[in-house]
Structure 1
Amino acid sequence: MCATAALHETGFSMLDLLYAPFSEFEFMQRALVGVIAIALGGGPVGVFLMLRRMSLTGDAMAHAILPGAAVGYLLAGLSLPAMTIGGLFAGVIVAVAAGLVSRFTALKEDASLAAFYLLSLALGVTIVSLRGSNVDLLHVLFGTVLALDDSTLLLLAAISTVTVLALAVLYRPLVLECVDPVFLRSVSRSGTPTHLIFLGLVVMNLVGGFHALGTLLAVGMMMLPAAAARFWTSDITMMMAVSIVVGIVSGLSGLLLSFHAELPAGPAIILSAGAIYVVSLVLGREGGLLWLAWPGRHLEA
């Protein structure tokens, strides 16, 4: 009886560790809703970024939104509309400028994006430093996922909704462009519009992630779940679903880790996603290290 009681007590305490932070604190509930919204939109976008070999493009675009958000901060403080509009405007400008540079000069797109990324990061930090304190700079760089208000949650929900609907409409040309872009251009003129709309979705999700995780970590909720999902399935639709699940689990576990270990919430979420990626790298059925080390067992399964 004593052992049974002890087991029940341990079970209830473990349940409390998982449930109590979200049942007792509203800021934890808001943070969880926010990271779920980010995962719903960011995971599928990250899958297509990865399949199109544009992972580093996503990282560059995450930093490209910083000057626009910083200008919005300079003009209106920590205003959600001002920083959102500024970030979207800056992201679009950098995407178009990098494309034009790579098209009309000898510089490749990755090099032009790297140049704009470095300039954007330096310019954004400088603009924030002109008016704000170190706390404001940390807010811009690392986000405030534990301080999401209603308007920010509505923005994140709207971005994830638009993203899911747009990907549903553009799914076929996006997949064709990943598999065989030459064939897509030969049978349809939708390649260029699809690419531009997709870049717009990338910028939108990065701006949404920026409000929660900051410009330095926003791309992490895109690329780490997508990279982890690639080790579990080769089907693109399933890959998108797995990336969403990984993103949600990462957000939940990161928030719990932050709450109980008193760690910064944004980095804890990205570390959780990184841990899932490492586990997937080792154990994943599609190219995981253990499956590559024992190919016979893989074939038998």
Structure 2
Amino acid sequence: MSAPALDAGLWGLLIGPLVEFGFMRRALVGCIALSLSCAPVGVFLLLRRMSLTGDAMAHAVLPGAAIGYLIAGLSLPAMTLGGVVAGLLVAVGSGLVARSTVLREDASLAAFYLISLALGVLIVSTRGSSVDLLHVLFGTVLALDDAALALLVGTSIVTLLALALLYRPLVLECLDPQFLRSVSRFSALAHYGFLCLLVINLVAGFHALGTLMAVGIMVLPAASARLWVRSVPAMMVLATLLALAASVVGLLLSYHVEWPTSPAIVLCLGATYLGSLVLGRQGLWRGGSRAARRHLQR
């Protein structure tokens, strides 16, 4: 194959779809915005051992978005406001239940999110069509309009600014929350500020990837990065780069193979995680070899 033909083939395979089609360009911009905001939030979610909490919160925003849909149809402001309110209510409600009863926070959160998920699916399925339900559950990343892109970019900017301001309290809370409470007044601000960032990113991700897939772009890149690097800044940068790369590959796969876009992106993120799990510096291969050497030295 000649060089011009090879270049043309690579262009058509890798670059052309992202440049020539408006819906692919919009999807790419949306995925970039999500990667820049969700991946760093996912790092702190992982370090705080709240990965399953993020999954629960992703489902918890569904009834609020469904009520917004019930009132105003597929209205971005109504569904966004409803999702944010529902997510915050579930986060605060589960915390209050954990502090006021014998139930631990994980049990109360699981109960709230199951009720929320069932209620949201019921509202959308009874008041809308099966297409509307699929859009809510799996997102419409290939149909992002100007308002949705503005929401994603705005969320990314707010998240990055908030993380820059709260970086030190957030890191301290991950490492030693008791120490942070004893020496700083910012403990509560860091805790509840992080929950707010988690909710708004899940709501933004909900519009692009759907309520079932939104948490994937948070947890999977962060878990992959943790298997390669140790420092928090390096984890944030690597998680963002992995999320960007997997999003681009997922978009191209969905275009060429005609797969659903949101599952394709999350599967690429999952493949990245599995590869990191085996080959990463803290993964099964190298980490297992070090563990075996330590065992033999004993």
Of 265, 283, 287 in structure 1, the residue corresponding to residue 279 of structure 2 is 283
Which of 108, 117, 120 does residue 116 from structure 2 map onto? 120
Pair 1:110 & 2:106 matched: yes
Q: Structure 2: give runs of 5+ residues left out of the alignment.
A: none
Unaligned runs of 5+ in 1: none
The one of 135, 155, 166 aligned to 2:162: 166
| Aligned residue in 1 for 2:212 | 216
* CA offsets 1:50-96 (integer angstroms, 9 cap, x no match): 00000011001000000000000000000000000000010010000
Q: In structure 2, how many angstroms separate the alpha carbons of the residues matched to 1:193 and 1:100?
A: 17
Structure 1 range deviating more: 154-163 or 184-193: 184-193
Offset at residue 189 of structure 1 (A): 2.1
Determine the C-alpha separation between the residues in 1 that align with 2:242 and 2:78.
31
Q: Paired residue for 1:193?
A: 189
* AA aligned opposite 2:284: L
Alpha-carbon deviation of 1:16? 2.0
- Cα offset, 1:292, TM superposition: 2.0
CA-CA distance at 1:176 after TM superposition:
0.4
Report the secondary structure of 2:74's partner residue. Answer: coil
Report the RMSD for the aligned CA atoms in angstroms.
1.6
AA aligned to 2:178 is V
* 1:218-297 alignment, distance < 5 Å: 218-285=214-281, 287-295=282-290
Instruction: Give the count of matched residue pairs.
Output: 294
Give 2:275's aligned amino acid. V
What is the rounded CA distance, in whole Å, between the counterparts of 2:4 and 2:97 in structure 1?
Answer: 65
Partner of 1:100: 96
Task: Output the TM-score relative to the length of structure 1.
Answer: 0.95
Give me the whole-angstrom Cα distance separating, in 1, the residues matched to 2:92 and 2:286.
42
Q: What is the alpha-carbon distance in structure 1 between the residues aligned to residue 201 and residue 287 of structure 2?
A: 34
CA distance in 2, matches of 1:277, 1:11: 31
Q: Are residues 1:146 and 2:127 paired?
A: no
TM-score normalised according to structure 2 size: 0.96
* Corresponding residue of 2:61: 65
- Post-superposition offset of 1:29: 0.3
How far the C-alpha of 1:14 sits from its partner, in A, is 2.1
Match in the other structure for 2:25: 29
Q: CA deviation at 1:294?
A: 3.0
Q: CA deviation at 1:159?
A: 0.4
Distance 1:261 1:45 in 2: 31
Secondary structure at the counterpart of residue 189 of structure 1 = coil
C-alpha distance in 2 between matches for 1:23 and 1:41? 23
- CA shift at 1:232, angstroms? 1.1
User: Following TM superposition, by how much is the alpha carbon of 1:254 offset from its aligned partner in structure 2, in angstroms?
Assistant: 0.2
Taking the aligned partners of 2:227 and 2:179, their CA distance within structure 1 comes to: 27
Letter in 1 for 2:254: S
SS of corresponding position for 2:49 = coil
For 2:290, the aligned partner's letter is P
> 1:8: how far off?
4.5
1:131 Cα deviation after fit: 1.4
Q: Distance in 2 between matches of 1:138 and 1:264?
A: 11
